[in-house]
Amino acid sequence: MLYAIIATDVARSLEKRMSVRPAHVERLKQLQAEGRMVLAGPHPAIESNDPGEAGFTGSLIVAEFPTLAEARAWADADPYVAAGVYDSVVIKPFKQVLP
């Protein structure tokens, strides 16, 4: 089943984000290589694909996992969690309708 992993950053998270971004992206690439990734990306803090110093307010990942518990375990092991980038992470089952 698909799950939406919706994370909200702590205030002023940009430096923490950048310090562990390579490890975070590597995990996402692994999901993609396994054919389980639907989409992933950050929420810019301003209306810009490159928000600069404004940074980001969170992230959205939609990917396939066997169970909600496994989606939660994967999310809990994210480098952004360990580095204190995320203030909260919500995981919900997701039904893709389009495309």
Identity of the amino acid at 3: Y
Domain ranges of the chain: 2-94
Query: In this structure, how many other beta carbons lie within 10 angstroms of the beta carbon of residue 75?
Result: 21
pTM for this one? Answer: 0.95
Parallel, antiparallel or unpaired: strands 37-44 and 56-64: antiparallel
CATH class assigned to 2-94: alpha beta
pLDDT of the residue at 6: 98
pLDDT tens across 32-91, in order? 999 999 999 999 999 999 999 999 999 999 999 999 999 999 999 999 999 999 999 999
Cβ count within 10 A of residue 74: 19
In three-state secondary structure terms, 25 is helix
> What mean pLDDT do residues 13-27 have?
98
